Amino acid sequence: MTARKWSWQGEVNDLTIYKQSKYGHVLSSEAGVTFFNSLTLEVLEGDQDDAEVWRSFERPRPIEDASAATEQVLVGSGLLVPVDRVEERRLLDKLTDIRLTQRKTRDGKFGFLRMSLTEKCNLKCDYCFVEEVIYKDLPKQPAPAERFLEHVEWLIQQNPGGWPTVQYFGGEPMLRWDLIQDTTRALEEAVAAGRIAGFTHEMTTNGTLMTSQRAQWLVEHDASLTISLDGWKEINDRHRVFHNGRGSYDLVIKAVKEIRAAGGEPRFLITLLPETVEILPKIVRFVVDELGAKSVAVNAPQPTADGWEVDGLLLSRSVQESWLFCNSRGVEFHSLGAFLVELINKRRPQPDRCFDGNPTGTEAHWGGYVAADGSLSFCIVWHQDERVTTPSVHQISKKRVTDWHYDTTTADDCDGCIAGMVCGGPCTLERLFNGGGLNPDRCKFFKTMVPFVLTQSSIGPRP
């Protein structure tokens, strides 16, 4: 057995009665046996003989040979603990302490703005959460361009010498093409003046309004482009349709060709429904093999009162198969759960509950959502609730933002969970939706994703 980033200078006491730690997990795969401490995020590589030693402590007992290497590693890594060791809530208490520290020390700076330039869209996708959940009660007239540019100026001021990110979002952002150009120009002027070191700007679009001229402009200005496409023509055009019911697939493919002709390469974004979650691997194969995708992303599932809009276990299985396929083809794959590799590799707990938080950065760079009416939310999904919104960027309270991200509410069921330290628990938005309890789909997803990451040599945290 070998340890990754592990050393221990203690001694095994052969008079002590040891038991398996509730945070110890043993996983077998074709590559061998992986031991995982879900409290410390320690990963150990072993073999079946090591696993047998571990199983022999299912009933507490003393160590027969205090010099045996396996026993020493199991004790030293906290996988075996004395029977008098109190383990209840150790994980929860540690996670709470981390969150309390983050509340006090994180700077509360915003480094990302998702700007919904308009709530209008030339498509009427039958699953659109923007239309059905967020925008249905909001005014239809978008805020003037000056209001959005004020937010961009505020973002620049938040990041002196830094590298902020702006995402053009909607509705369909290309309905306000002039505002995209104005925002880009403002960011470029800030770089030229030395106010920021650079910036990232990206757009999530349905692609149907793309032209060769727009594609050329976006590529020349280094915009990162994400095209929504849910699969082959039959699948895509069943849900992603114009207001007259006509499908959007052909125009999306035309947009992809125009972007490539201009020298760019879009990312393909797939949104799953209950009836398509199990065929995600087929959809991913299609966009890679038939459309030549170099980067594929899967939309994070939207929370509901009962969990997610798709089953968490089915999503986990489909993400795993799709991830392995993309790795085999050298294709970038982005999905909920992909951050687990870095968290475990760096033994860094996930204190931020947000889907799109900054789990690996050294300082907090919050994400904000500028709604079509010009208001700002510090939840990048939800901005219809006064608990997360503010009418002015100058009225943002660091306490409100940190409380949202670092809510210290915990659940006893998380204490011994293999994903307890890296899942983050239900996001605050999910808690608002389901009355404060655990999200069963999130639990199913992460309880199966963590073992997958740990045991897959092509993606997991190996020594």
Decide if pLDDT at 279 tops 90. yes
Could you tell me which residue, 185 or 63, shows the higher pLDDT?
A: 185
Q: pLDDT grade, residue 178 (50/70/90)? A: very high
Q: Is there a contact between 382 and 134 (Cβ–Cβ < 8 Å)?
A: yes
Q: What is the pLDDT of residue 439?
A: 92
Decide if pLDDT at 141 tops 90. no
Q: Is there a contact between 247 and 240 (Cβ–Cβ < 8 Å)?
A: yes
Token pair listed for 435: 């009355």
139 burial type by CB count under 10 A (0-12 exposed, 13-18 middle, 19+ buried): exposed
Q: What is the pTM of this model?
A: 0.91
Decide if pLDDT at 134 tops 80. no
Q: pLDDT grade, residue 23 (50/70/90)? A: very high
Dist. CA 47–CA 86, nearest whole Å? 29
Decide if pLDDT at 411 tops 50. yes
Token pair listed for 55: 């199983």
Determine what percent of the chain is predicted with pLDDT higher than 70.
91
Domains of the chain: 2-82 (3.90.930), 109-345+353-394 (3.20.20.70)
In 3-state terms, what secondary structure has residue 327?
A: helix
289 burial type by CB count under 10 A (0-12 exposed, 13-18 middle, 19+ buried): exposed
Q: What is the pLDDT of residue 8?
A: 46
Going by their DSSP bridges, the two strands 365-370 and 224-228 should be labelled as unpaired
Decide if pLDDT at 267 tops 90. yes
- Count of beta carbons in the 10 Å neighbourhood of residue 95: 24
Dist. CA 73–CA 51, nearest whole Å? 12
In 3-state terms, what secondary structure has residue 280?
A: helix
Closest to 276 in 3D by CA, of 314, 240, 248: 314
Mean pLDDT, range 443-461, rounded to an integer: 90
Closest to 260 in 3D by CA, of 291, 228, 285, 232: 291
What's at 115, amino acid-wise?
M
Decide if pLDDT at 387 tops 90. no
Dist. CA 108–CA 318, nearest whole Å? 36
Mean pLDDT, range 235-249, rounded to an integer: 95
Mean residue pLDDT across the chain: 88
Decide if pLDDT at 140 tops 60. no
Dist. CA 129–CA 452, nearest whole Å? 30
Decide if pLDDT at 155 tops 90. yes
Decide if pLDDT at 137 tops 80. no
Mean pLDDT, range 372-399, rounded to an integer: 81
| Rounded to 5°, angle at Cα 266 from 261 and 268 | 135
Q: What is the pLDDT of residue 353?
A: 65
Decide if pLDDT at 323 tops 90. yes
Mean pLDDT, range 387-403, rounded to an integer: 80
Q: What is the enclosing helix (H) or strand (E) of 318?
A: helix 312-329
DSSP 131: I
Dist. CA 417–CA 36, nearest whole Å? 11
Q: Which residues contact 192 (CB under 8 A, 6 or more apart)?
A: none
| Range with lowest mean pLDDT among 281-290, 301-310, 378-387 | 378-387
Dist. CA 107–CA 396, nearest whole Å? 13
Decide if pLDDT at 21 tops 80. yes
Decide if pLDDT at 356 tops 60. no
The residue with tokens 């999530």 is 204
Decide if pLDDT at 13 tops 80. no
| Range with lowest mean pLDDT among 273-282, 325-334, 405-414 | 405-414
Q: What is the pLDDT of residue 360?
A: 40
Dist. CA 202–CA 223, nearest whole Å? 5
